[in-house]
A and B are shown apart, each in its own frame.
Chain A
Amino acid sequence: MLPESRRSAGTAGSSKLTWSLNQPRVRSIVYQALLAAAVGFAAWYFVFNAMENLMARRIASGFGFLSREAGFEIGETTLLSYNAGDTYLRALAVGLFNTFRVATLAIIFSTILGALIGLARLSHNWLVAKLAAGYIEGIRNVPLVVQLFFWYAVITESLPAPADALNPLPSVFLSNRGFAFPILASVVPIEMDSPQLHGFNFSGGGLLSPEFAALFLGLTLYTAAFIAEIVRAGILAVDPGQFEAACSLGLNQRQVMRFVILPQALRVIVPPVTSQYLNCTKNSSLAVAIGYPDLVSIANTTINQTGQAIEGIAIIMLVYLTISLAISCFMNWYNRRFALRGSKL
């Protein structure tokens, strides 16, 4: 779409288009035709090469491999049952579910932690504020992979074997085989299923594997630092006059926060926090580095076994793009719902 001024300049004097490269409109068409040709050629060239190479390696392209037997075990399966005899499709579904599991939990906990640290950073208490600032700077300036490796090393190297597991709370055990804790077996009557030591590991109750625990811990602490900065910036973005006005109405600190500052700050906070949620989900793909079987790590195994690189990567990208799209849809909805009506009150 050309702006009006340029369009009229291009056809000055006559309604007929004269075919000259001095005409912006003609130039634009020529440029786009050239670009389309270049992109088309590149696409054709890559597809041609890929087909040649796949033929040479005797790999059938397409998604037929999904129904073949996967033949590898997955260390962690919750909700979806899986064994090595199942198909690749089922393996990938288990991976996707594992991605959602760790991402959802990390998002929930990092939101709570991040909000607390963001508020702490603004505290009048010097020690609290400095501690929060130190946490944020420390976490944000170290790559997440390093932090994941670190937590994994802490869990697998520094914690004792299950036989002498740390027991900070009744029936909660921390060992180098993961975290065991009681879960609710039935609600009426209330019954708990507590972990028991059998042989070399715990059985019964809930058990978080070291991989899951490291990933969850790393992701939560990392994302929380970013959310904390957003929360702080959001609160600082509220006009100080609002704060003073609320105080002069006789509201106490808590009420000022709850009824005046936070509702206004949330408008600034929510969009960037949503994109942090998206980052958190994408970052959960680092699971592959410490061996937690998320979607990317199972797709990677699938690619290595079948050689279906294009399809495998297409699946990963499709899933993440869908998640991105869903999250940005939510963000747009939120902005529409909570944006200020009109620019002036």
Chain B
Amino acid sequence: MNRAIDLATRRIVSLVQWLHARLFSTWSSSLASLGILYLAWMLIPPLIDWAFVRAVWSPANASLCRDAIGRSACWAFVADKYRFILFGTFPFDQQWRPALTIAILIGLYMLSALRVRRSRIVSFWLIGMAAIGVLMWGGLFGLSYVENERWGGLTLTLLLATFGIGFAFPLSILLALGRRSDMVLVRWLSVAYIELIRGVPLISVLFMASAMLPLFLPAGVSIDKLLRAQIAMILFAAAYLAEVVRGGLQGIPRQQEEAAQALGHTYWQRTWYVILPQALRIAIPPLVNTFIGFFKDTSLVVIIGLFDFLTTIKVSLTEPVWTGFGVEAYLFAAFGYFLFCYPMSRYSQSLERYTVPARGIQMLKEN
């Protein structure tokens, strides 16, 4: 009994100590704490009231939304349009296919974050990509064919980001190696490409793909809008990834290269078996960060009119029933992107904290 009281007292004491140290240590600190608490007291209850307590949830009550505009949030908008926001204009009865695609992609992301062997991850991705291709296009196994103009919503956002990085990554390795090459022309072309792309906004690259690319193709040949945007995103991402990979390459001591050379390995053997495995390992956290940035950047396709997650939300707002609910709609959009980006950024932060440099480098540093 005494011991219980003792424990409770100790807990209270430590709580008071914590409060004193972390909230009220000095006059200015106390003032800041009180100010924040006051603001929270003033702002949070009405906000909760607006967003949850009084909010309209059921799409059947669209008129209710209109009456209570400004006083209660209208989530009915999301409830009404969620199929369009998730899957775009994919045939309605076939929407289990993009749904499965989203599930596969998220599964693959999560799998990649776990420490599974590299060769396994690659084969999982290859199988997953093939499955996604079949699911989205169809035309096989009795699935009806769906042209990619009808892909959209969150599915499209995930596909753009995944395939964008997937194709940009090998290209970026070549660019990064090229930038460090002994061959003058290779080096100059790589530098010119990387700096040109990094110096201009993504929008101008997207405009280039949507307005300029058709001019560069022979008459009669046309590439659809989605593929053009995807190519632009790949070219854009490659330049940024190349700099990250180069950072990784620079982190590898020269002795590694020299030792491999002394063993008589060719350039590609040295690069493939000695340099890249170590360099990419160092580069993983910044690579994840670049991927987050790229994932966010896919939202720019709204400007050239592809129906990704953001565009479907924006287009839904133009329906007469739902005009004027932009605040709710974009809060929902922000929430959607956050749901993907935040876990990735936490993952990258945890990697930064725990990643041990490759063994070769550690040994070099110890000596």
Asked if B185 is at the interface of the complex by the 8 Å CB criterion, the answer is: yes
1/0 per residue, CB under 8 A from B, across A286-330: the answer is 101100000010001001000001101100110011001100000
In contact, B25 and A296 (Cβ under 8 angstroms)? no
In contact, A153 and B326 (Cβ under 8 angstroms)? yes
Bound form: Cα–Cα A317–B198 in Å: 11
Q: How many residues of B contact A (CB 8 A)?
A: 58
In contact, B29 and A303 (Cβ under 8 angstroms)? no
Least CB separation from A285: chain B residue: B201
Asked if A50 is at the interface of the complex by the 8 Å CB criterion, the answer is: yes
In contact, B219 and A56 (Cβ under 8 angstroms)? yes
Asked if B6 is at the interface of the complex by the 8 Å CB criterion, the answer is: no
1/0 per residue, CB under 8 A from A, across B1-41: the answer is 00000000000000000000111010001001100110000
In contact, A138 and B184 (Cβ under 8 angstroms)? no
Q: What residues on B are CB-neighbors of A144 within 8 Å? A: 296
Bound form: Cα–Cα A158–B69 in Å: 9
Asked if B208 is at the interface of the complex by the 8 Å CB criterion, the answer is: yes
In contact, B212 and A313 (Cβ under 8 angstroms)? yes
1/0 per residue, CB under 8 A from A, across B47-76: the answer is 000000000000000000000001000000
In contact, B299 and A288 (Cβ under 8 angstroms)? no
Asked if A157 is at the interface of the complex by the 8 Å CB criterion, the answer is: yes
In contact, B196 and A321 (Cβ under 8 angstroms)? yes
1/0 per residue, CB under 8 A from A, across B96-131: the answer is 000000000000000000000000000000000000
Q: Which one of A32-40, A75-83, A235-243 contacts B?
A: A32-40
Q: How many residues of A contact B (CB 8 A)?
A: 61
Known A-B contacts A158-B327, A303-B207; A289 and B341 likewise in contact (beta carbons under 8 Å): no
Q: What residues on A are CB-neighbors of B32 within 8 Å? A: 123, 125, 127-128
Asked if B42 is at the interface of the complex by the 8 Å CB criterion, the answer is: no
Known A-B contacts A125-B29, A128-B36, A321-B200; A149 and B333 likewise in contact (beta carbons under 8 Å): yes
In contact, A300 and B23 (Cβ under 8 angstroms)? no
Among A32, A125, A146, A317, max chain B CB count under 10 A is at A146
Asked if B145 is at the interface of the complex by the 8 Å CB criterion, the answer is: no
**Residues of B196-217 contacting chain A, CB below 8 A:** 196, 198-204, 207-208, 211-212, 214-217
Asked if A154 is at the interface of the complex by the 8 Å CB criterion, the answer is: yes
Bound form: Cα–Cα A123–B32 in Å: 11
Asked if B142 is at the interface of the complex by the 8 Å CB criterion, the answer is: no
Asked if A137 is at the interface of the complex by the 8 Å CB criterion, the answer is: yes
In contact, A141 and B310 (Cβ under 8 angstroms)? no
